[in-house]
Amino acid sequence: EWGGAVLMAVEHAPEGKKGFYGSLPQTGVGAGLVLASLAMGLVAKLPEADMLSWGWRLPFIASVVLLGVGWLIRLKVPESPDFERIKKENTAVKMPLLKVLREHPRETLTIIGARTAENAWFYMSVTFALAYAANQLHIPRADVLNAITAGAALSLFTMPFCGHLSDKVGQRRLYFAGLLLLCAFVYPFFAMLETREPTLVWWAMVLAVGVIFPILYAPESLLFARQFPAQIRYSGISVSVQLAGVLGGGFAPMIATKLLESGGGSPHYVIVYLIGMGVVALFCTALMKRDPKRVV
């Protein structure tokens, strides 16, 4: 659903504000983290035996409400102007995914390479770092979870701000800057965690989730959509982003766990791994279409 959601936002948006509108669906990640934290905080108040046997299921059952809201939105929102134009011109592609893979391999691969670093950073911050801080550094799990929740809450404001900023400076430029910040912050991030100082641990997580992540995630909607023509845009960005999610978010925490073991508990191999992914992403971003002179 991500591809359809961001294209609805971008293609309905007025000129000059497409980056901002494209960042609004991205804000759902922070909102989801906050809701998840609140939901699990509530069920955690149950007796431990009840929480482990049936209580943990309650947040998943409650999520049916969100599915219903999404379904109603899909029913009510009209098709985008770009799609309506394609229908009128009778230029729709019958097998768009096949056309993407055959005729646009460069665009597909550059998006995968660029997005893998962002997705890996997110899951390393909210999944791997939580396990690392709690199990390896013996920092109270609740403290790290609270910091992640604070970062997610901050992203509700920084995500749309970064979308607005991308309309001013360009989505490709902002994404490139975000990757540079990611590479620069990886070592300080783990160094701050290793101090075990509550304030520094809190700031490490908040900056990772509430600042670095939005700078990368907010401009993706328009940046990636711009790489494909309208006829295949939905399929192009969807397959590229989801494959990047598998490679980044799917494998990165497992790879990092193995690298941590190989490093004898030290995260230096993990740091090199993340910086390496950032460098690959910088190269892929440099190959993408440039921001137009008038940023839209």
- Out of 4-8, 14-18, 24-28, 279-283, pick the least confident: 4-8
Quick one: average pLDDT of 183-207? 96
Asked whether the predicted pLDDT for residue 31 surpasses 50, the reply is yes
Asked whether the predicted pLDDT for residue 10 surpasses 50, the reply is yes
Q: Which is higher by pLDDT, 109 or 101?
A: 109
Quick one: average pLDDT of 78-90? 66
Asked whether the predicted pLDDT for residue 215 surpasses 70, the reply is yes
Asked whether the predicted pLDDT for residue 206 surpasses 70, the reply is yes
Asked whether the predicted pLDDT for residue 42 surpasses 90, the reply is no
pLDDT at residue number 296: 43
pLDDT at residue number 84: 66
DSSP helix/strand/coil, 90: coil
Give the pLDDT confidence of 225-236 residue by residue, as tens digits: 999 988 888 889
Q: Which is higher by pLDDT, 82 or 287?
A: 287
Under the banding of pLDDT at 50, 70 and 90, the label for residue 63 is confident
pLDDT at residue number 82: 64
Asked whether the predicted pLDDT for residue 51 surpasses 70, the reply is yes
Asked whether the predicted pLDDT for residue 170 surpasses 90, the reply is yes
Which domains, ranges and CATH numbers included, belong to the chain?
A: 2-286 (1.20.1250.20)
Asked whether the predicted pLDDT for residue 295 surpasses 60, the reply is no
Quick one: average pLDDT of 260-272? 93
Taking the C-alpha atoms of residue 197 and residue 139, their distance in angstroms, rounded to an integer, is 9
